Structure formats: C-alpha cells, structure tokens
Structure 1
C-alpha cells in the first residue's frame, strides 16, 4: 500500500470517529427534546459529548463539525445546570443541531432531496458475512427510526463499540470467516462494558447445543438457526431496544413520619422512580386519583387508622385492585405480618429499611404488575392497547380536553386489501404486516398519543391536544412513508397501504366521535384507498 493510500485510510478512520461522536451528540439532544421534564438531567451529558466532538473535530481537521460543535457548546454554556431549558435557547440549540446533522450526513445522503431523517435511537450494529442481507436490514431498520451500521470485520465492530455502545448487535456466529469467530468477538466486546450488550445471534450452518450455550454465555438473547428473514429479525431488535426505555415506576408512599417519607422519596428518585409522598392517611383517595400509582407503600401504624384499613379501602376500587401494596413497619411478628398481607397487602418490609432491598422489591412487584396489566389491556399480537382499553382512554382524554379546553382528535386506520395479503402470502405474513404497522405508528407518534388495535386490520389513534389539520398532516406523512416500506415474504417483497379517517372532538360523546371517524375512514375507502380523510365537524 503506497503512502497516499495509507493517508486516505487513516483519514477515513478519523472521520468515522468524528461522525460517530457527532451522532452521540444528536442522540443526546433527542433525549432532551423528547422528554423536557428530564432535560436538565441530560444537560451535563450533552455538554460533555459536544465538548468531546469539538476536540475530535479540531484534532482531525474536520472544520464543519468543529464549527457546529463550538456553536452548540456556546449555547449549552448559557443553560444553567439544574435549570429548565427555556424556549428561546431551545430554538437556538435546535438550529445548531440541524447544522451539525447536515455535517454528519453520509455522502450518499447529500445527493438526496429528502429531508434528513432524525433518528431516535442509539445505534444497532450489524455484523453479517452476507453484506446484501446487512444492507437490506439497514434499509428496513431506518424506516422504523433506528440508526443501523454494518461492519465488514471484527476490528471495525470493536472500534465502533468502544466509541459508542450500541443498543443491540446482530451477529453471525461465524462473522470473521472461521467457526464461531463471531462469538469470540462478542466475548471480547462484552468484557469492555459494565453492563452487557443484548446480542442476537444467527447462523445458517451451526445450531448445536454447544454453540448455543457459548452464545448464551456472552449475552446472546436470541439464536436464529437457520437464519430468518428481515421481518422477524426487526421484530426481535425492536423487542430488545424497546426494553431499554422502560418508563419509571410511579410509587405512592403513605407514612405519617415526614422524615421517613422524605427519606423514602430520596431513595426512590435516586433509583429513577417517580415518587409521590403523603403523610395524612385521609388524603389517600385524592392521591390515588391524582397520581394513579403503579405501586403503593403504606406504613402499618398511623394515627387514626392502620395501613391494613387503608389497604382495604384501596382494594374496594376496581382500578386499584391489582396494584401491589407493600407494608412498612417495625413489626417483626411473622403472624401479624401474614395477617396484614391477608388484608390486601402483597409484601412486608421491616424498618429500618435497607434501600437495596426496597428497590429490588419494587422492581420485582412492579414488573409482575405491569405484565399482568398488559395481559388485560393490550393486544397479544401487536402489543397495542386492545379495543376496550382504547375506548376507556378515549373517554379519559375527552374529560381532560374538556377540563383544559384543548383540541382532541381520534383517527381510525384500516389496512388496504388485507385479505388479499393473507390469501397470497399466508396468515403469518399478514400478522407480521400488522406488527409492522404497529411498530411504525409507535415510532412516529408522540408518547402522549394512544394507539390501539381496534379489531382485525383496524387501528385506532387518540391524539390529545392536536388540531385536525396537524393530525391530518402527521398521519398523511406516516401513510406515505409506510407505503414505501418493503414487506418481506421469503425471497419476495411487497408493499402495503392503509386508509385513514380522522374526527376532531366537538364536545360530543366518545361514541359519536368514533362514528364520525369511522365514516371518514369509509370515505377514504370510497375515494380509492391509500388516503386520509378529515370528517366534517
């Protein structure tokens, strides 16, 4: 290799480090932008990532990145640590981030007339011997809002992981050319991280128990043998990446000792949970209605009543019938503890409370409670809210819209010619199309929006605080993008479209709102399908 070739290779190596760091900055900004309530918690992380980008870009003479980073860093320095981000500064930061985003586009992107796509995820890394399959997967993943990168060899993968820890890695067990070389690479990678990276292994050749065990021991969450099509892989990738963004548990604490209650609040917040404390038992009904806790912690003995009596009152309300209740007390008599739990409690912790024991108990109880709740209110195929719960949420949002005098929209979606998809490709592929659309909607709608599977190939979307024109624009863009998505079916691919009807709430009942959205959906079908229709007020 001549000197020029070596210099070019070195330049490309440094360029990758700078652009990877730029994407760390973009991802951190995305966290701040998506959850303003926790923006201040990410402020220092944002500043550190941007400072590192500036240093890298200056060292490697990448001027556009350096200038964009310096502008961003100067604005971050105007943001006081621990304070909220004001609107004016947020707009300036957004402009700076868009400039940085343009600098970070790949050369192939610069030739595209399409607006740059702002990815909402940290990266997914792909290490496959089949480069055609890797490219196909990346195209599909980018449709779902993931940022995916493929690697040709183990050294490139290792270097990328050192710069930026991925959400998950999809790897061929023989990546690298020799038997189980991919597993060996992953073993070395995992040693460098405090928490393991979820790994999805696949193999065309080796599905033996020995290989599966070796893969499992180094963080293998899934093992596909023989290798499967991109649709199934993307569903699995979504499962593990989605699992990284768990909503914090909402914990209500009732303890008549203000000092003990504040201590509990500190411990819970430090563990990343959302805590609400009350010291007066007579405030319990109001706190339940306002806070809607997932877990309740009760002191056993309080002036005026006992924790057991409060638990019985809580259990009389259907919506809190299955919410875990944990008692706190200095009571060490096991018989009394068991009696307390027979009156509505789920667990018992003795004072003084060990913080680690408390957090572990809440995580265990919370996880089980969420799993049980999901079985009751979610559709088993798509993971979206079921028909009954969607209507319940619509009633709640109507009450909220009336109280706050805010707009509200309800949309119904129906996949076009879905029966033909099932007849042509089979029901398993049809099910995958349903899951594909559900993933697409979850990726592109807000956390405050509610998405439900209304039945069959019909979906329902509740859009709080949304004007009809905005709802139409958002769903029309989703419709256009979804129609471009290639749906895999073995060695074939096909496209699917949907029709949509939207109705704006006009101080009417949920039933009337649903009927208007349904009529608008029917109009979309009559207009030739693959369109969005807004109902008349």
Structure 2
C-alpha cells in the first residue's frame, strides 16, 4: 500500500473517530433523559429495549474509538438491564403501561455519562497499531526469486532453468556463510533458494531484512545432498519451508515454488464482509482491514445482505448478533438456506461475552465468536488466518488435485461470469482453450508419470505467466481453459504465443532421454457471444482449426473457423 492510500485511510479513521464522538454526545443525552424517565416511572418495554440496544452498541464501539472504560461499563450495564428486562416482563405479564425499573439503573447511567467525560480522548493522541503495509507480491507475471550461489555449485545452473519457466531470478553470492547482497532486497521476493551449506547465512540475512507488518516471512527452499534427520532438522531450525535433494528435479521444484507463492499471496489477502448496523464502526473495521491489504465491504442494512453477498462474494462474513430490529443469529440461519453460502465462514463480531449465549448463537449457523471491543492488530491477524483457512478449504473443493487449477465445472462457470461482467462493464475479454500436442504419444512413449509431469509443468507455466485476475482451469485430460479479462484478442494471441514458445523450449527427461512438447490453442472473444457454452465452443473450433493446420500455434476464432 502506497503512502497516499495510507494517508487516506488514516484521515478516514480520524473522521470516523470524530463522528463517533459527535454521535456519543447524542447517546449520552439520550441516556441522561432515560435516567430521568426511570426516576419518574415513565419507562415502557419498548423504551427499555431501545436503551439496552444502545448500550450494546456502545459496548462494542467504545473501546474501538478510544473510550475503553465507557465500553466496559456499557457492557456491564447492558447485562444488568437485560436481567432487569427479563424479570420485569415476567412480573408485569403485559398488565402495566410502564415498568417499575430499579432507580439504581438511573444512577448507573449517570456514572456511565461521567466515565465518558473523564475518558474523553480528544485531549490525547490514541496510538495506532496498524503500520503502513509494504506492497504485497503479485502472483502473476514475473514472480521474483533469489538464488544464493556458493562454493558448492549445487545451484549454478538453476537461475537459467527457472527463467525458462517465466520466473524473474536474481542471484547473490555467499562466501563462508556471509551473503554479499548489499543491494538485494528480499522483502518483495516470492522465495529464496539456497544450498544447505548457506542456510545459516540466509537466515541471518532475512532476519536483518524483515517484511512489513502482517506479512509472512519470505519462504526459503533449501537444496542439499544429505537426507539424514540431523541435517533436515538443522535446515528446518533455520526457517526453511522446503528441502529438496540435489540434483534437483526441476518440474518438482517449480511445482513446490508455485505452491509456496500461492500460500504467500493468499496469506495476507482476503475478502471480508462486515455486517453491523453501527455504520461508523463498520467503516472503521473496513479501513483497518484495508490498511493491511484485505478487501473489506460494510453492510449496515440487513435487508440488502443477500444481494450484497452475491455481488461481493466474500471469503469471510463478520456479523453482529444484534442488528436493530433483526437478529444476526437468524440472519446466519437464513444465509445457510442458500447452497452457495453453506461453506461461507460466518464469525460473530459482537460485545456479547456470555459463553452460554455465544454457544446458542453459534448453533444458528455461525462458526466462531469474536468479542468487541477488538484491537486493530488482533482483528487483522484473526481475519488473515480465517481467510487463509477458508481459501484452503475452497481450494480442496474447487481445484484439480494434479494441477491445482480450477476444476472443469468451476472454470466453465467463470467463463459465463466474465461474459456477464464484461457486458456490464463494456470492456473486452477473451477465452483460450489449450490442448497439449500428441499427448497420447507422450504417455505411450514416456509413461503416464511423465505425462503428469508435462501437465503440471504447463499448469505452472500458465499460472506464473498470467495475471492474478486471469482464471485458469483444467478443462479435461490435457486440455486447459483460460479466461483473460480486460484483454483484446490481438493481445491474447501475442501472450499465448509467447507462453507456447517458452513451453516448447522446456526439456523433459526420462531415463536419460530428453524430449520437448508443444501445445495448440484457440482464442475466442467473449463479448461476441450470448452464453458461456457458445464461447467455449468457439474457442474449441479455433483450437481444432489450429490442429488441422499443423498444431504448435495459436488461432483466433472467426465465423469461418
């Protein structure tokens, strides 16, 4: 995140804080008037419930906006009022217009008002726990790797080999355990590769160059000869995320790097929807999460919740259990009516701290409870972990086990979704269908295990060369389907031709024999069709036109294809 964005978020947080203080003045005036009504005996059930809900909001937002004592006192008073309300309801049985509320409630409300004045944060500067975030690595074009070269020469040929797979590779030297890397910065690297002889020096170097707040450490892949327990333990002790035996199996290494890059990119991101009828508090949480690179969207009106879910498609839903006239517990149950949202993690973010009530609330369809007020640091880390876990579960359901690309049904849905998006947005998008040339011959000659290596290699190359916004799926067998948003057909032809050239240069080996593989591709402009199936059929026609003309190339669909 750049400084301009960080300044904007900081300014917005200050505006929300001042807006809360203005609102607090109105709340305190209301509570003072309510205390007078209690003493006069003019409180009905509706007014009592309204006061309790206002205290519930203050309990959740007070600490967030700099009034921690107010928030704690409001929480205790809300519980007291809840017990009072329950007892009075049983006693009156609807017989009285006004309820005989204990006057001690009025005394407690006046104490609450006094605490707010004593704890006014306008005279002090509240510390922020969120630090400016460094730009996260983008898993797409030119993933940056750092290869550490040392006297063992185990990794000497690795930079050139990895560049063929589309990685951007920087090398640094290690002499006697000291890295000669005065100008190299590991913070925006996707991974560091080193021999087991250099692992201690690499660990010291990374420790001296920590990443920004809320970012995971740079993963280290270690390559070495020794496979005994003590050596592996030593490597793991110094922070390595993977160990591979030399000479390294290149396709296996690339696949491991792709896995680490995906985990790294996913570890700090996420899409979170916050449902809270306190608009300032909801916006505050959104800004805090955005400052850490998490995409957040606030919903204050429960009536729009379902439409907002389909529009935003969150990975995590944070929701209060009291939303004015609506219950978050019932809303969670209602969300689960829709098969699309059965796996969506729902976490209650509420000032309710009674364990029994929390359990009853969770039985309605939610997964976890976070108690307000919640520190900004804790909120960010809690959301990051839950989004990462949600993404892992989604990958298990939606990803092909061999390639980690989208499954057939999911990539087909993505074609239709992009058709709808580019129609609404009035921009060009493209679909590409790829097929590995003579793949049956690869399996028959080199075996199915080598065939799997070829498929995984092409999947990794596509993932590395395409943008994060592009969708890539395994359409079937040796076929791949790619969706390229905001892309003209001419640009897609150049892009896929470049990927084909890189793929054809890769060497596959089996029993000391080397072979090369190519692919054919068909390109179709998504905007030219009215249904997803029509788009895929057009790309398929262009693909087979390419095969009829000699394979090993890319063809654009035309009406004559």
Q: Same fold (TM over 0.5)?
A: yes
User: Are 2:123 and 1:120 aligned?
Assistant: no
Pick closer, same or farther for the CA change 1:220–1:447 going to 2, 3 Å: closer
**Match of 1:11?**
none
**Match of 2:506?**
485
Q: 2:552 aligns with which of 527, 530, 533?
A: 530
The one of the two structures with greater contact order (alpha-carbon pairs below 8 A, sep at least 6) is 2
Pick closer, same or farther for the CA change 1:238–1:512 going to 2, 3 Å: closer
In the alignment, is the contact (CA less than 8 A) between 2:146 and 2:172 conserved in 1? no
Q: How many residues align?
A: 419
**Match of 2:205?**
189
Pick closer, same or farther for the CA change 1:478–1:333 going to 2, 3 Å: same
Pick closer, same or farther for the CA change 1:38–1:400 going to 2, 3 Å: farther
Pick closer, same or farther for the CA change 1:148–1:463 going to 2, 3 Å: closer
Deviation track 1:395-439 (CA, whole Å, cap 9, x = no partner) reads 111112322333332221110111222233332322221121112
**Corresponding residue SS for 1:345:** coil
Deviation at 1:353, TM superposition (A): 1.9
**Match of 2:303?**
282
**Corresponding residue SS for 1:413:** strand
Deviation track 1:483-514 (CA, whole Å, cap 9, x = no partner) reads 12223446443221001112223233222222
Q: 2:477 aligns with which of 446, 451, 456?
A: 456
Deviation at 1:194, TM superposition (A): 3.3
| Distance (Å, rounded) in 2 between the aligned partners of 1:386 and 1:454 | 7
In the alignment, is the contact (CA less than 8 A) between 2:141 and 2:464 conserved in 1? no
Tell me, which stretches of 5 or more residues in structure 1 are unaligned?
Answer: 1-36, 44-81, 83-117, 176-181
Deviation at 1:40, TM superposition (A): 5.2
| Distance (Å, rounded) in 2 between the aligned partners of 1:232 and 1:274 | 33
Pick closer, same or farther for the CA change 1:272–1:465 going to 2, 3 Å: closer
Pick closer, same or farther for the CA change 1:504–1:122 going to 2, 3 Å: closer
| Distance (Å, rounded) in 2 between the aligned partners of 1:446 and 1:520 | 23
| Distance (Å, rounded) in 2 between the aligned partners of 1:366 and 1:287 | 18
Q: 2:344 aligns with which of 323, 332, 344?
A: 323
Structure 2 counterparts to residues 102-181 of structure 1, below 5 A: 120-127=142-149, 129=151, 131=153, 134-150=155-171, 153-154=174-175, 158-160=179-181, 163-165=184-186, 166-173=189-196, 175=197
User: Are 2:218 and 1:202 aligned?
Assistant: no
**Match of 1:219?**
239
**Match of 1:408?**
429
User: Are 2:374 and 1:350 aligned?
Assistant: no
| Distance (Å, rounded) in 2 between the aligned partners of 1:229 and 1:447 | 27
RMSD: 2.8
User: Are 2:264 and 1:244 aligned?
Assistant: yes
Normalising by structure 1, what TM-score? Answer: 0.72
Deviation at 1:481, TM superposition (A): 2.5
Greater Cα shift, 311-320 or 386-395: 311-320
Larger Rg: 2
Pick closer, same or farther for the CA change 1:507–1:229 going to 2, 3 Å: closer
**Corresponding residue SS for 1:368:** helix
Deviation at 1:264, TM superposition (A): 1.6
**Match of 1:362?**
383
Normalising by structure 2, what TM-score? Answer: 0.69
In the alignment, is the contact (CA less than 8 A) between 2:144 and 2:191 conserved in 1? no
| Distance (Å, rounded) in 2 between the aligned partners of 1:39 and 1:130 | 43
Deviation at 1:361, TM superposition (A): 2.7
**Match of 2:529?**
507
Tell me, which stretches of 5 or more residues in structure 2 are unaligned?
Answer: 8-131, 133-139, 212-216
In the alignment, is the contact (CA less than 8 A) between 1:229 and 1:490 conserved in 2? no
Deviation at 1:307, TM superposition (A): 0.5
| Distance (Å, rounded) in 2 between the aligned partners of 1:502 and 1:197 | 37
Q: 1:393 aligns with which of 409, 414, 420?
A: 414
